[in-house]
Amino acid sequence: MPQFVVYRRARVALSFTLIAATFTVTGQEPVSPSPETHRLVVREAGLPGIDRGLRDQDAMREPSQGSPLDPATVDGVSRLSAGESSLRGSVIVKFRDSAGPSAVSSTMSAVGATDLSRPSWADFELLAVPMARDPEEVAAELRARPDVEYAQPRYVNHAMFRPNDQFFDRQWNLTSLDMERAWDIQPGASSSIIVAVLDTGVAFRNITLRYQARPFQLETGGPIFPSLGIVDVPFAIAPELGDASRFVSPRDFIWNDDVPVDLDGHGTHVTGTVGQLTTAEAAPRIDGMVAVGAVGRDLSVAFYSTANAYVELSAPGGDARRFGAEGGVLQQTLDLDLLETYAQGPARLTVPRADSFAIIPFQGTSMATPHVSGFAALLMQQGITSPAAIEAAMKQFATDKGPAGRDDEYGHGLINPRATLRGLGLAR
């Protein structure tokens, strides 16, 4: 089975505050760690995760361009206005190697920047600019300067909303791809294949972490959720993902450590689609990077899937509008009842738990994409190591959907693992 390298992406910088009852960091770098400024490890071990089984009767959330899990304010401060797609107050900039201190200083003055810092994991800088300035305009000004290699706003990414063998008969997404016969050819990727997951984290470790839970609002003018003070949150390994040895080089870019635990459920669900324990816009310009559209249970385009020239391939993502919960993609993820304690309102807000799991249907292009990632892992196990060659093979043997040839809804078509493996000269 494949191993995973898991990264926690910046999208969680906003939603993390809410999902973890506003467990956030504010202020200057502390002299010594404390739960007010850092999350602290309380226990390095814990009890096994609680498996609450199948939960397919809950109403599925619908994908949206903006996530209701992103708080409008934390401690009364808002950094994302309605309709905006990027954070105010700073932009990303990479200076050219030839840019000296004087050139950097001149550039900062030109856009009214007040500070420049480089995250330990990045090869670019974060440029602090006045909150009143439009990040798009600032980035455009920076790109026009000869000493700047690239610049862009700090865009906020939203996971498309949400998620074993006893339930395989309900995993239409796998049977629709003829995965049983594809597995006859290639049973699965070994531990030599590493799949990178850039998401909200993953339930990969038994650990208890301590946070400072601050007051927050879900929307401007809405009720204020109270502070819970210093809280201890238990985390556990998702039973269907196996033990922690399957995860290599984990990294959390929010807390800048190697503990990218999941306080959302999205990343755990996605990782399960890539490699659960079972027996069995830039993308078009970059070879080996694929933009994926989503289809529902009837294999027609899902209601939320964008139709655009950059769509290259399609895969099952679910469509609850037409098929209800049975139209979602089933995977084990965090038990949302015990995780999203804010859902019942401020009066019932309690400390969330990230050590309880359920098998829940999600829908979204985020559910479609890991099918392609898992398919790529099978091809790599088969000996195709070039990302560009993997992409070309997927497109060559995809099942055409919609108008003949490539189109903006399905791209080159629905991925076809078995046809691709057979087309590469494998006879089984």
The predicted structure's pLDDT at residue 170: 73
CB distance 315 to 414 below 8 Å? yes
- Closest by CA to 357, choosing from 336, 334, 337, is 334
Distance of alpha carbon 148 from alpha carbon 231, whole angstroms: 43
Instruction: For 415, list phi and psi in degrees, rounded to 5.
Output: -55, 145
In which order are the strands placed within the sheet that holds 207-213?
40-43, 207-213, 229-235
How far from chain centre, in Å, is Cα 290? 16
Contact 365, 377 (CB under 8 A): no
CATH number (3.30.70.80, 3.60.21.10, 3.40.50.1000, 3.40.50.1820) of 86-155 reads: 3.30.70.80
What pLDDT is recorded for position 424? 67
What pLDDT score does 66 carry? 37
CA 273/CA 29 separation, integer angstroms: 38
Taking the C-alpha atoms of residue 189 and residue 2, their distance in angstroms, rounded to an integer, is 5
Structure confidence at residue 168 (pLDDT): 64
Helix H or strand E encompassing 133: none
User: What's the CA gap between 254 and 250, in Å, rounded?
Assistant: 12
The Cα diameter of the chain in Å comes to 65
User: What's the fold here for domain 3-12+43-68+158-207+235-423?
Assistant: Rossmann fold (3.40.50)
Which residues in 129-276 belong to E strands, given as ranges? 148-155, 194-199, 207-213, 216-217, 224-225, 229-235, 251-252
Phi, psi of 287, deg, nearest 5: -65, 130
How far apart are the C-alpha atoms of 309 and 86, rounded to whole Å? Answer: 24
- pLDDT number for residue 92: 94
Give the DSSP H or E segment for 4. strand 3-8
Report the C-alpha gap between 184 and 169 in whole angstroms. Answer: 18
At 225, is the secondary structure helix, strand, or coil?
strand
Task: Considering only CA atoms, give the Rg of the chain.
Answer: 22
**Going by C-beta distance under 8 Å and a sequence separation of 6 or more, which residues neighbour residue 369?**
270, 292, 315
- Name the pairing type of β-strands 115-117 and 125-128: antiparallel
User: Can you give the pLDDT at residue 279?
Assistant: 43
Placement of tokens 């009890």 in the chain:
47
pTM of the predicted protein model? 0.65
| Cβ pair 220, 73 in contact under 8 A | yes
Q: Which residues contact 214 (CB under 8 A, 6 or more apart)?
A: 17, 22, 23, 24, 74, 75, 227
Q: Helix-strand-coil percent breakdown of the chain, rounded to 5?
A: 25, 25, 50
329-334 sheet: strands from edge to edge: 50-54, 356-362, 329-334
Sign of CA dihedral 326, 243, 208, 202: negative
Give the domain ranges of the chain.
Answer: 3-12+43-68+158-207+235-423, 86-155
How is residue 176 written in tokens?
Answer: 């629709």
The number of beta carbons lying within 10 Å of the beta carbon of residue 36 is 14
**Token digits of residue 209:** 């972490």
3-state secondary structure 248-316: CCCEECCCCECCCCCCCCHHHHHHHHHHCCCCCCCHHHCCCCCCEEEECCCCCECCCCCCCCCCCEEEE
pLDDT tens-place values along the chain, 428 residues long: 565 555 554 332 222 332 332 332 222 233 344 555 568 888 887 778 888 877 776 666 655 433 334 444 555 545 555 556 788 889 999 999 999 999 999 999 999 999 999 887 788 999 999 988 999 999 999 999 999 999 999 887 655 433 335 666 677 887 788 777 777 777 666 677 888 888 889 999 999 999 989 898 888 888 999 999 999 999 999 988 877 788 888 989 888 889 999 988 898 888 887 765 444 355 677 788 899 999 999 999 999 998 989 899 999 999 999 998 889 998 889 998 899 998 889 999 999 999 999 988 999 998 999 999 989 988 988 888 899 999 999 999 999 999 999 999 999 999 999 999 887 654 44
